[in-house]
Amino acid sequence: MNECVVDAPQETTQISGALDVEALRMRPLTLGEAGGLATPAYLFDPAVAVRRYAALREALGTRLVVSFKANNLADLLVRCGHAFADGIELASIGELGVVTGRIAQRRYVNNPAMDEAFMRAALISGCDFIIDSADQARMLAGMDMGQRRPRALLRLNAGAISTDAGASTHDHFGMDLRQAREAASILADSPATVAGVHSFGGANTFSRDGESHARNVRRAVDALQVGKSQAMEQINLGGGFAADWEDDLPRMAAYRRVVDELFAGESVAHEAGRAIFARAGVFLTRVVAVKALGQRRVAVCDGGMAQNFLLASTEGMLRRYSTPLLLRAEPGDPAAVPLDVHYVGSSCNRQDVIGRELAAAIPPAVGDLAVFPDCGAYNSSYTMRDFLMLPAARSYLRATP
């Protein structure tokens, strides 16, 4: 295995001859194919992210902005950022620092708590602003912009613009129409340009109400344009696309027809993170101990919720554990009694259960490598870091074949 360490804020190793991220779904793998990777670790494949971005953009027929918070690994951005043709959305000054100098595409900053330091850095960097409130509009309008003429999109709360009688402002992002008009009026007296609107219904919402959300945005745009002679330059419909969005292409095609009809001749964009990155990464952790407790086996791993919080599934009403793919150090004992196996992490938190296999015919053994697919989005960044001072997961990038 050839390795070269890439100079970047995160410790990342580029490898060749290691696990093929996409092949995990298609054929058995051997431990040798892991290439002796240190664990716990993430393995990301930039080529998969590039392909999935292009496929989703083609399926939608619109521009597609990448949500950088889904995977903020600098080295991954360097490898595939050139393909993100329509830009990247950033939610913090830290993300802005990672992206600056690494991509030439348009950058959007979006955070309801954006402070003056973040806004000034974004202004100097030439970013577009997604304005979350009238107060943010005042902050931007009050800045010394010099020769800069920043573009601003007004963020509309998806619940507040819905015509559904049962809808509510189910999150705290964006504005209602009255507040959006106020923000537009404030920015009209500044060098900034109100270039359009942005509205996002939330993660994994596309399959449930993508078409109704598009219709709500259409009505909101029409209401905001009353009395204005110039059409809005950009309408960002958000996204909410699931990791497996391509499993229901007829729904995507129907949605595209609705958007084409509603926004004919206008510049429409969507944004995505999970749909691009989830299947471009896997989480690797090694079994360090196995024991039987009652009617289950426990496989203790060297990585868990401290390195991959989302696998612990603590944020949902129901626990939906993933079943890992096992790369076995030894063939295993085929005569063992089938029992459920719980894969647990290395912390002393009883919630640190990251996987489950029902009635496993061959139990895991010490040295086996547990591979969790679809961990390329949020898993590495949306994770507790300091509890027990456990080591962070390493990051590997799969080299281009």
> Per-residue DSSP letters for 316-364?
SSS---B-PEEE-SS---TTSPPEEEEEE-SSS-TT-EEEEEEEESS--
- Judge if 299 and 256 occupy the same domain: no
- Judge if 133 and 153 occupy the same domain: yes
Task: Tell me, yes or no, whether 234 lies in a domain.
Answer: yes
Please report, in tens digits, the pLDDT of each residue of the chain (401 residues total): 233 333 333 455 555 555 566 655 544 455 565 657 889 999 999 999 999 999 999 999 999 999 999 999 999 999 999 999 999 999 999 999 999 999 999 999 999 999 999 999 999 999 999 999 999 999 999 999 888 899 999 999 999 998 875 555 568 899 999 999 999 999 999 999 999 999 998 888 888 888 999 999 999 999 998 655 456 789 999 999 999 999 989 999 999 999 999 999 899 999 999 999 999 999 999 999 999 999 999 999 999 999 999 999 987 777 889 999 988 888 878 888 899 999 999 998 999 999 999 999 889 999 999 999 999 999 998 887 777 778 889 888 877 65
How would you label 73-84 residue by residue, b for 16+ Cβ within 10 Å and e otherwise? bbbbbbbbbebb
Please say which residue of 254, 272, 290 terminates a domain: 272
Task: Tell me, yes or no, whether 253 lies in a domain.
Answer: yes
Give the CATH number for residue 8.
2.40.37.10
- Judge if 264 and 125 occupy the same domain: yes
Q: What is the pLDDT of residue 27?
A: 47
- Judge if 262 and 127 occupy the same domain: yes
What φ, ψ does residue 188 adopt, rounded to 5°? -65, -25
- Judge if 186 and 246 occupy the same domain: yes
- Judge if 169 and 202 occupy the same domain: yes
- Judge if 332 and 268 occupy the same domain: no
Domain that holds residue 243: 106-272
CA distances 147 to 42, 71, 144, 190, Å, are 44, 33, 9, 12
> Is 243 exposed, middle or buried (CB count within 10 Å of its CB: 0-12, 13-18, 19+)?
buried
**Amino acid sitting at position 332:** G
Q: Are 58 and 77 in contact (CB under 8 A)?
A: no
Fill in the DSSP letter of residue 156: B
Task: Tell me, yes or no, whether 384 lies in a domain.
Answer: yes
Token pair in block for residue 5: 């360490």
- Judge if 167 and 293 occupy the same domain: no
For the chain, what is the domain count?
A: 2
Task: Tell me, yes or no, whether 74 lies in a domain.
Answer: no
- Judge if 129 and 266 occupy the same domain: yes
User: Across the chain, which distance is largest between two alpha carbons, in Å?
Assistant: 77
Please say which residue of 272, 304, 328 terminates a domain: 272
Does the predicted TM-score (pTM) go above 0.75?
Answer: yes
Task: Tell me, yes or no, whether 217 lies in a domain.
Answer: yes
Give the CATH number for residue 237.
3.20.20.10
- Judge if 264 and 286 occupy the same domain: no
Tabulate helix, strand, coil % of the chain (nearest 5). Answer: 30, 25, 45
Q: What is the pLDDT of residue 12?
A: 59
Q: What is the pLDDT of residue 30?
A: 55
CA distances 120 to 34, 124, 144, 147, 263, Å, are 45, 6, 9, 14, 33
Task: Tell me, yes or no, whether 60 lies in a domain.
Answer: no
CA distances 193 to 52, 96, 184, 196, 230, Å, are 33, 21, 9, 9, 12
Task: Tell me, yes or no, whether 295 lies in a domain.
Answer: yes
Please say which residue of 272, 301, 321 terminates a domain: 272
Task: Tell me, yes or no, whether 118 lies in a domain.
Answer: yes
**Amino acid sitting at position 123:** L
Q: How far apart are CA 385 and CA 307, in angstroms?
A: 7
Of 154, 103, 148, 86, which Cα lies nearest the Cα of 121?
A: 148
- Judge if 193 and 319 occupy the same domain: no
Q: What is the pLDDT of residue 4?
A: 30
- Judge if 231 and 289 occupy the same domain: no
